[in-house]
Amino acid sequence: IIEDPMIRELKETVKNIRETSIKNLEKLLQRVGESFEDNDIEFYIAETGEEANNIIYDIVKDEKTIAKSKSNTLTEINLVKFLEKKGLEVIETDLGDRIIQLTNDKPIHPTAPALHFNMEEIADTINEKLKVKVDANPEDIMNTIKSDVLRKLEDVNVGITGANAVAAYDGSIVMVHNEGNIGL
């Protein structure tokens, strides 16, 4: 597929856009801020993970439960642990991240965080933590976690997610998903 001329051209175009964006980052951030303001979207810039966590906490601190969609950036700054230490419950909506949350373990990979667990271990954890009986097969595990997350989301007023891209010109936010958790 990489040998396809159209794919090579697209790859080069994306690379050039990324490089240009990095070179003009300060100007683009200013434009994003203006675009967000035009769309009544609050915009913050944090210099550190700790600062980002504090900004987010100040926004959500009056909530009891927060939904969190897949975001490697939020994982890198340890947002969930930070909010939990502040007394908030955070519900991971990504399947792998929810398994990690239930096991209280560390993710092994950014896009496959629970890869180091076998089906028996995952089922045992779900049975213990969620007080259910689930068989050690992927479909049952997925459906059980999905049902649990959806039930918990009924009481959630705030969700936190990352973005795959932001258009500086109009403030559009692009999110791509593979599990359907953005729609939750």
Average pLDDT of the chain to the nearest whole number: 92
Cα separation of 65 and 137, whole Å? 29
Residues 137-161 as b/e (b if ≥16 CB within 10 A, e otherwise) read eeebbeebbbebbeeeeeebeebbb
pLDDT in tens, 149-184: 999 999 999 999 888 888 998 999 888 876 555 555
pLDDT at 180: 56
pLDDT at 50: 98
pLDDT in tens, 3-34: 889 999 999 999 999 999 999 999 999 999 99
Place 71 in a pLDDT band, splitting at 50, 70 and 90.
Answer: confident
What number is the average pLDDT over the span 81-92? 97
From the centroid of its chain, how far is CA 92?
8
End-to-end CA distance of the chain: 33
Residue 1 has pLDDT above 70, yes or no: no
Angle between the N-to-C axes of helices 95-103 and 138-153, in degrees from 0 to 180, rounded to the nearest 10: 90
